[in-house]
Chain A
Amino acid sequence: MPTITLIEHNGTQHSVMGEVGQSVMQAAMNAMVPGIQADCGGACSCATCHAFVEDAWTGVVPAAEDAELDMLEFANERQETSRLTCQLTIQENMDGMVLRLPESQY
């Protein structure tokens, strides 16, 4: 099971175990990570599961599809490395991946 680290805006780190095929959002919700609200339950409609992928891992995550890019376009604190974690499916090669959470979800 890949382990993914989510860092809250205040610096608190959460290492969560994810299952391959599950979304990063689901893994974070199951671990009760504050800062991921996921109001729409993964329907790519709310942008409250926003996170920034640490630079070293941007090459590992597959590119976002149009619907996600549309949502990200106006998400709070949008950055180059922004992703909606409900659209990020966990794969074996994501073991050790680090994501930071935006201030607006703090």
Chain B
Amino acid sequence: MTLSSVVIVGAGQAGFQVAASLRQGGFAGRISLVGDEPGLPYQRPPLSKAYLLGKIKAENLVFRPAAFFDQQQIELIHDKAVIIDRQNQRVVLESEKALEYDHLVLATGAHNRPLSIPGEHLEGVFGIKTLADADALAPRAKDAKNVVVIGCGFIGLEFAAVAAAQGASVQVIDRGGRLMARAISPQMSDLFLKAHESWGVKFHFSQAVDQIIGENGKVVGVEKADGEVLPADLVVYGIGVIPNITLATEAGLEIENGIKVDADLLTNDPHISAIGDVACFPCVHNHGEHTRIESVPNAMDQARAVSARLLGKAAPFVATPWFWTDQGNLKLQIVGLSTGYDSAVTLGSMESNQFSVLCFRRDHLVAVESCNRSGDHLAGKKILSRPPELTAAEASASDFDLKAWEMAHRL
């Protein structure tokens, strides 16, 4: 069957990229991109960093200007998809308009996990997901005196670095015992802990938050489980996200920690794909286990893979996962997935903040974390994207140089 209409639900990183890649690949059919956020599709990473610092303006967050959508005949529909009628291959929108599809791509992303504690809705308590969140937060962040960050994952720490740079006193509370624990090695956590402390950020580990305390509807403090109250005029939380699966669940699509897809990123309905933060796919870099990855590169690579398939060039999705985060003067880049790694070799020095951790599982390289060592990141990406594999024994040699090794082992 030739494909004449593609409907994409979710006009974020992944959804936008499917539309752009389809046109770039020569698709001439109808493309409808449905998004429930106002304005043009935009990128989120700067929202917790450069945008709050005023280093990048709103008009530069958008992926493309309005004219692009006209020129490329990508129909951008500001609406919410509420029903997938699989039988008749149509999507019903909140406005009751219906869109017929030959193929449907679900790119609905994820929403912030709520704090679910008393005081979570007080004025001055923020999560960061959308441009609207960042616009509401930016002026308050500039003037805040006492900032409490709940959760020391990427977004919480990016914001902590911004708030410290803007002169606030910053305290971070986390249930766990180290920074970005879900994603990086203890060695790299340690480097970031020292850096944040040098910027004046204070940490409270292994602590739950009992409630957020307000006066006249405004936040004034955060009470920890041990009873201590930290004064706060601004609270930002980042405690993970929950995939937006309602639409897919109601349509009877298979769900497993997100929308479950196969190696081609297809759901259990052959006319429906799912990509980006919402999709849980069998990941060859995670021993084939179904994995959900929340990152820009994952959204982009999956969008390109689906677009290629729709254009008749199907190939299983095998892109090497990678990620970056910018905190203060530190750029951390991670390539591969370190889940279940059992040994590590470090390169560079923590003192200079130029430091890489090579993670091995059963003596094979599975991930490279690099702080201010982008060369290692790019070399790691190449090594992890093809054979031969680097072993821990080789990397442990004194004077080992990852970039030199990669160059010497090109096929």
Seen from chain A, the residues whose Cβ lies within 8 Å of a Cβ on chain B are 22, 26, 29-30, 32, 34, 37, 39-47, 67, 70-71, 73-75
- The main secondary structure of chain A at its interface with chain B is loop
Interface segment among B141-149, B286-294, B369-377: the answer is: B369-377
Question: A34 and B24: CB pair below 8 A?
Answer: yes
Q: Does B345 contact A (CB under 8 A)?
A: no
- Among A22, A37, A39, contact of B60 (Cβ-Cβ < 8 Å): A22
B45 to A: closest C-beta gap in Å:
6
Q: A74-B374, A74-B378 are in contact. Are A43 and B324 (CB under 8 A)?
A: yes
Cβ contacts under 8 Å, B300 to chain A: 37, 39
Question: A45 and B375: CB pair below 8 A?
Answer: no
- Tally of A-B residue pairs with Cβ under 8 A? 65
Cβ contacts under 8 Å, A45 to chain B: 324, 326, 331, 333, 374
In the complex, how many residues of chain B place their beta carbon closer than 8 angstroms to a beta carbon of chain A?
A: 31
Question: A73 and B297: CB pair below 8 A?
Answer: no
Q: A41-B43, A45-B333 are in contact. Are A71 and B378 (CB under 8 A)?
A: yes
Q: A41-B296, A45-B331, A75-B378 are in contact. Are A26 and B324 (CB under 8 A)?
A: no
Q: Does B403 contact A (CB under 8 A)?
A: yes
Question: A30 and B64: CB pair below 8 A?
Answer: yes
B232 to A: closest C-beta gap in Å:
29
- Closest residue on chain A to residue B56 by CB atoms: A42
A4 to B: closest C-beta gap in Å:
17
- Among A22, A34, A41, A75, contact of B45 (Cβ-Cβ < 8 Å): A41
Q: Does B217 contact A (CB under 8 A)?
A: no
- Closest residue on chain B to residue A73 by CB atoms: B375
Cβ contacts under 8 Å, A32 to chain B: 20, 23-24, 68, 72
Q: Does B65 contact A (CB under 8 A)?
A: yes
Interface residues in B36-71 (C-beta closer than 8 Å to A):
43, 45-46, 50, 56, 60, 63-65, 68
Question: B374 and A67: CB pair below 8 A?
Answer: yes
Instruction: Give Cα A73–Cα B50 distance, bound, in whole angstroms.
Output: 24
- Closest residue on chain A to residue B370 by CB atoms: A70
7 contacts between A and B (CB under 8 A): A39-B300, A40-B45, A43-B326, A45-B333, A70-B372, A71-B375, A74-B374
Instruction: Give Cα A34–Cα B23 distance, bound, in whole angstroms.
Output: 11
Instruction: Give Cα A73–Cα B373 distance, bound, in whole angstroms.
Output: 10
Q: A22-B60, A39-B296 are in contact. Are A71 and B374 (CB under 8 A)?
A: yes
